[in-house]
Chains A and B, each alone.
Chain A
Amino acid sequence: AQSVTQPDIHITVSEGASLELRCNYSYGATPYLFWYVQSPGQGLQLLLKYFSGDTLVQGIKGFEAEFKRSQSSFNLRKPSVHWSDAAEYFCAVVLISGTYKYIFGTGTRLKVLA
């Protein structure tokens, strides 16, 4: 069955430090992958997505993610974290079927220390 795993429930980093959020997926075909972020009181906002092509994807707010088929991973990175990045981050894969519904991971909550 298709699934998405985000192994880290909570991550704390200092402002200015680099960040990597892990995401592993299980999917039988070529995956279409997303990272969303949810700030307090807000909806889920799309950071970036991977459909095909270049395996290094650039997104908004300085985020990037790298698709590694051999590792079934799609990790999210940012070279220097800002306090405003504190939020919850969700990795998702879309099922290429009749409904194109998303399968989400459990989320990673990021805390940024000043």
Chain B
Amino acid sequence: EAGVTQFPSHSVIEKGQTVTLRCDPISGHDNLYWYRRVMGKEIKFLLHFVKESKQDESGMPNNRFLAERTGGTYSTLKVQPAELEDSGVYFCASSRSLSTDTQYFGPGTRLTVL
């Protein structure tokens, strides 16, 4: 069974540009989470999808961030326009059911905004 995959692994962009991160969850996992780790800080929750519906966006920093999950499969997280403070590692995780099921994490996308 393939794990959670994320693309790209690294992205370096300039302030003001747009970047789109992609996450492919484990097949059959309805729940998809995005987290972010800013350097030196804890990993923080951004948002949660159940299939294609956003269940909780409480962690999204501001309206420069837009997440989608078309068809309930893969998800994208777009940052537009990117700011310096958006730099960090963005993790995606998925789980089968909405419970205390283990969340399986991808390797993350390291975003650097110059």
Contacts and interface: CB of A to CB of B under 8 A. Distances in A.
Interface of A: 4, 32, 34, 36, 41-46, 49, 51, 90, 92, 94, 96, 98-107
B35 interface: yes
B64 interface: no
Interface of B: 3-4, 31, 33, 35, 40-45, 48, 55-56, 59, 91, 93, 95, 98-108
A21 to B, nearest CB: 15
Given A43-B105, A104-B44, A106-B40, 16 more contacts: A43-B3, A43-B4, A43-B106, A44-B105, A99-B48, A99-B56, A99-B98, A100-B98, A100-B101, A101-B33, A101-B56, A102-B33, A102-B45, A102-B103, A106-B41, A107-B42
A102 B35 contact: yes
A110 B101 CA distance: 27
A81 B43 CA distance: 25
22 contacts: A4-B42, A32-B100, A34-B102, A42-B107, A43-B105, A44-B93, A44-B105, A49-B102, A51-B100, A98-B55, A99-B33, A100-B95, A100-B100, A101-B33, A101-B59, A102-B35, A102-B43, A102-B45, A102-B93, A105-B42, A107-B42, A107-B43
A94 B100 contact: yes
Contacts of B41: 106
Nearest to B40: A106
Contacts of B107: 41-43
B67 to A, nearest CB: 14
A90 B4 CA distance: 18
Given A99-B55, A99-B56, A100-B99, A36 B105 contact: yes
A98 B44 contact: no
A36 B108 CA distance: 14
Nearest to B44: A104
Contacts of A45: 105
